[in-house]
Amino acid sequence: MKILVLGGHGFVGRNVADVLRELRHEVTSLSRRDGLDLTDYESTEKHITDITPDLIVNCAAEVGSLNYVSMKAADIFDVNMRMLLNLYKAVKVGTPDAVIFNPVANCAFPGISEKYTESNLWDGSVHQSVFAYGNTRRMMIVLSETYSTQYGLRSINFFVPNMYGPYDSTDPNKAHALNALIGKVVKAQREGLGQLEVWGSGGAIREWLYAPDCARIFLQTAERLDEYGWDEPINIGQNYGLSVRELINIIVREARYEGAIVWNRSMPDGAPKKVMDDTRFHKQFPGFIFTDLVAGIRETIRYYESIYPF
Ligand SMILES: NC(=O)c1ccc[n+]([C@@H]2O[C@H](COP(=O)([O-])OP(=O)(O)OC[C@H]3O[C@@H](n4cnc5c(N)ncnc54)[C@H](OP(=O)(O)O)[C@@H]3O)[C@@H](O)[C@H]2O)c1
């Protein structure tokens, strides 16, 4: 199968491309650094038409920390909407039989919900801390549905919790929550820092997905496209959350950091709790075994140790 991974040099895209290549699919990774600019329609159409993939895994986005997406709210909305609008239009023109996989960040769900169920997506506004980015993620669902209705384009949408694992950016504005914590602790341990500041109160509860697990789910889906059940969005859910404080305890222990953790409560926590209902996931992926959180954190610590200093 000819697969195009958009944003294939980013955190999620690189994990996805690695796993898809293992199974000898013909995988092309494209992102800004290859000359593709999804904010530009001509560039988007040219690259899509040149490759004419059977499957597009859409891991391209302009995204970063909570602070980054709030400070740059207008740019985040503008750039991400243009990328999505150009992508769908170019697929319609250049490769209308291709299937598009969208990893939709779970910040698309209503900010007040504690448990995210696919059918409750529209039951309230996204959390204020992710107003711009979360609304662009909702538009992935709108684009999928409207392009399906009018042009017959096929998209498969996965709601995805926060991910962690290898290959994330080490830029503090860009690194994702758990990876940023792991990177900070590894750095502090290597540099023998006596104390380490962590933003927020530590009380926010989140569900965490090991990025290579997300990649394995995409691979399984790619190989079962003819089956039923892909028309509705699916949570990649485990219905299991852990507080940031509990996570820090695991990281500190696994990285053998001996300094103190200081919580900077002046920084926002974001939504208090986010866990994903896993009912539909179990129907669609019976028997799928997620990587144990401690084992995944251990692997990610090894990754950060291997790229130190960063
Ligand atoms: N990370 C998570 O925890 C998580 C969780 C749930 C869902 N997701 C979703 O997964 C997707 C990818 O996230 P990520 O964490 O992998 O982000 P990331 O590490 O920042 O990667 C984004 C990728 O998009 C590319 N890109 C940005 N602007 C572009 C443009 N104008 N034209 C072409 N490519 C462009 C980047 O290119 P360069 O590398 O060349 O700069 C990069 O490869 C997003 O939709 C995100 O919401 C992520």
Distance 7 CA to ligand 1 centre (A): 5
State the amino acid at position 16 in one-letter form: V
Distance 9 CA to ligand 1 centre (A): 8
Return the closest-CA partner of residue 182 out of 194, 161, 196: 196
Distance 288 CA to ligand 1 centre (A): 25
pLDDT score, position 129 = 87
Rounded Cα distance, 104 and 81, in Å: 14
Number of neighbouring beta carbons within 10 Å of residue 221: 20
% of the chain at pLDDT higher than 70: 100
Distance 59 CA to ligand 1 centre (A): 5
Nearest CA to ligand 1 atom 18: 10
Q: How confident is the model at residue 273 (pLDDT cuts 50, 70, 90)?
A: confident
Q: Is the pLDDT of residue 255 over 90?
A: yes
> Kind of pairing, strands 242-243 and 205-206?
antiparallel
What is 2-163+209-235's CATH topology?
A: Rossmann fold (3.40.50)
Return the closest-CA partner of residue 251 out of 286, 195, 294: 294
Express each pLDDT in 84-129 by its tens digit. Answer: 999 999 999 999 999 999 999 999 999 999 999 999 999 999 999 8
For CA atoms 23, 27, 33, 39, the dihedral sign is negative
Give residue ranges with CB within 6 A of ligand 1: 7, 9-13, 31-33, 36-39, 59-63, 83, 103, 105, 160, 162-163, 169, 174, 176
Alpha carbon of 240 to those of 115, 116, 209, 210, 292: distances in Å? 10, 11, 10, 13, 12
Express each pLDDT in 174-203 by its tens digit. Answer: 999 899 999 999 999 999 999 999 989 999
The matching CATH number, chosen from 3.40.190.10, 3.80.10.10, 3.60.15.10, 3.90.25.10, for 166-205+241-273+291-307 is 3.90.25.10
Return the closest-CA partner of residue 198 out of 251, 254, 128, 274: 251
Distance 16 CA to ligand 1 centre (A): 12
The owner of tokens 């500041």 is: 197
Q: Is the pLDDT of residue 24 over 80?
A: no
- Ligand 1 atom closest to the Cα of residue 102 is 45
% of the chain at pLDDT higher than 90: 92
For CA atoms 64, 65, 68, 72, the dihedral sign is positive
Nearest CA to ligand 1 atom 21: 10
Cis peptide before 309 (omega within 30 of 0): yes
Return the closest-CA partner of residue 34 out of 44, 49, 26: 44
The C-alpha angle 195, 196, 200, rounded to 5 degrees, equals 135
Distance 12 CA to ligand 1 centre (A): 7
Nearest CA to ligand 1 atom 8: 105
Q: Are 222 and 288 in contact (CB under 8 A)?
A: no
State the amino acid at position 50 in one-letter form: D
pLDDT score, position 154 = 98
Share the mean pLDDT of the chain: 96
Q: How confident is the model at residue 23 (pLDDT cuts 50, 70, 90)?
A: confident
pLDDT score, position 173 = 87
Give CATH 3.40.50.720 domain extents, the chain: 2-163+209-235
- In the predicted model, what is the mean pLDDT of residues 276-281? 98
Give CATH 3.90.25.10 domain extents, the chain: 166-205+241-273+291-307
Q: Is the pLDDT of residue 289 over 90?
A: yes
- Ligand 1 atom closest to the Cα of residue 13 is 16
Q: Is the pLDDT of residue 271 over 80?
A: no
